[in-house]
Amino acid sequence: MRKGAYILVPSVSASPAESKSAVSDRNGANVETAQRSAHDGQLPPPAIPSEPGMTRFAIGHKTEFEPVVITGIGLVTSTGLDRETAWQAIKDGRSGVQRLRGVPGIPDDFILGATVDVPTDFPGQRKEFPLARRAAEEAITDAGIDLANSDRDRFGCSISGVMGDTSYVNQVCGRTDLLPDPHIKWWEQWLPNSCCWSVAQHFGFNGPRTSHSVACASGLVDALAAVRNIQDGQCDVALTGSSFAIDSLFASGFQKMRVLAEHEDPAQASRPFDAERSGFVMGEGAAMFIVERLSHAVARGAKIYSEIAAAKMQGDAHHVTGLDQNSESLSYLISSTLRQARLRPADIGYINAHGTGTQQNDAVETRAIRDALGTAANQVCVSSTKSMIGHLVCAAGSVELAITALALRDGFFPPTINLTSPDPACDLDYLPLVGRRGAYEHALKISVAFGGHLVAFALRRWDEADSGFLVSDVSAA
């Protein structure tokens, strides 16, 4: 068989409403036909460059342009220890923020936090590990994957880095009480990729492993890595996501930067896009996804949340922590993500914003959305769920992408709570106080991170009757 040959079939994005069922039927048939012709010694059609409205399906394992879909979600936040509990609280506008207690190195009640209480496997274990595993187990179960009968050599794992060994810093600061237990093996939790390794080992995944540490963009970057691993033909399915637990070094840095919000009522502290906003509250939690190529999902009869219509990264060469006030890089990212997804600005119904609640971020993000969407920005629904669950730093992108996918599934878009005095510079429809129902097909998730890391995901709701979620399938908001 000629190396690199492939066939073309109509893309899901070519006619979203009608072609999903047809594509679902054709995907398996075409890939099966191509693979059978290889065994029969027949040459497939000559290689043809990809065209608008067409999707490339390669012979064998390489599936560069085949759609990648989300089939499982696991979610743990301060508002709930499982996906549906956490999501229902977010839909209801309930806050998980309280006075922070019990975190080594941080005096009780000194700052606010949106924490999660989960048991650890041994004393001194970082909380990110059980958080990640809990979310992973839920995602795998949700996707209906039988690991005992899965090809784990074709199962990838892409989980973001966690806080590494801070022993040196603690020694320099004279905080010997914060030094890790010497009996803990350093390779079990002190490498930045230890969480990825731990989860992959737990489930026996032998496919490609990737782990990134790019601050608040980490979760989306690792989701993008998982998508590319599938498109590259390195695996058929992957577990991807991130977890975060509040750490005294992180908290100290943010406190010194004066970006941590404070309020006599903890639930009212985080108020993105409000004129009285004063920063963010750190949060804890995790989100994990099962992502897979479309034909793989259809062949095993999976339920599909949404298609990852596009995922893009962009750099902002302005400042390590500051943002370009003209928002050119972020605006370019949003526009290029729409182009990759072949969407018009008016096609976007909802945006889950980065929305930290800092003076700079919220104004810049508003300008970028307006610049990218033009007049369509007047109709789009936008919200920051950090107002309820806090800022999960390296897990923020994953958790908020999960919320975005659930919002599309239910046709309900969560509110920005505490938005009682809108800032005139933040003049989009930020869904103040209460969420809203809407039959939208497309949504964006944006992450903005220290170091100039900008990432955006475009999701397309999966409406095909046999493999998608009908709005009537889920409880009313």
Is 319 designated active site?
no
Catalytic-labelled residue, pool 212, 296, 354, 442: 354
Catalytic-labelled residue, pool 157, 195, 196, 216: 216
- Three-class SS of the chain: CCCCCEEEEECHHHCHHHHHHHHHHHHHHHHHHHHHHHHCCCCCCCCCCCCCCEEEEECCCCCCCCCEEEEEEEEEECCECCHHHHHHHHHHCCCCCEECCCCCCCCCCCCEEECCCCCCCCCCCCCHHHHHHHHHHHHHHHCCCCHHHCCHHHEEEEECCCCCCCHHHHHHCCCHHHCCCCCCCHHHHCCCCHHHHHHHHHHCCCCCEECCCCHHHHHHHHHHHHHHHHHCCCCCEEEEEEEECCCHHHHHHHHHHCCECCCCCHHHCCCCCECCCCCECEECEEEEEEEEEHHHHHHCCCCCCEEEEEEEEEECCCCCCCCCCCCHHHHHHHHHHHHHHCCCHHHEEEEECCCCCCHHHHHHHHHHHHHHHHHHHHCCEEECCHHHHCECHHHHHHHHHHHHHHHHHHCEECCECCCCCECCCCCCECCECCCEECCCCEEEEEEEECCCEEEEEEEEECCCCCCCCCHHHCCCC
Catalytic-labelled residue, pool 212, 391, 442, 453: 391
Is 202 designated active site?
no
Is 391 designated active site?
yes
**Active-site residue list:** 216, 354, 391
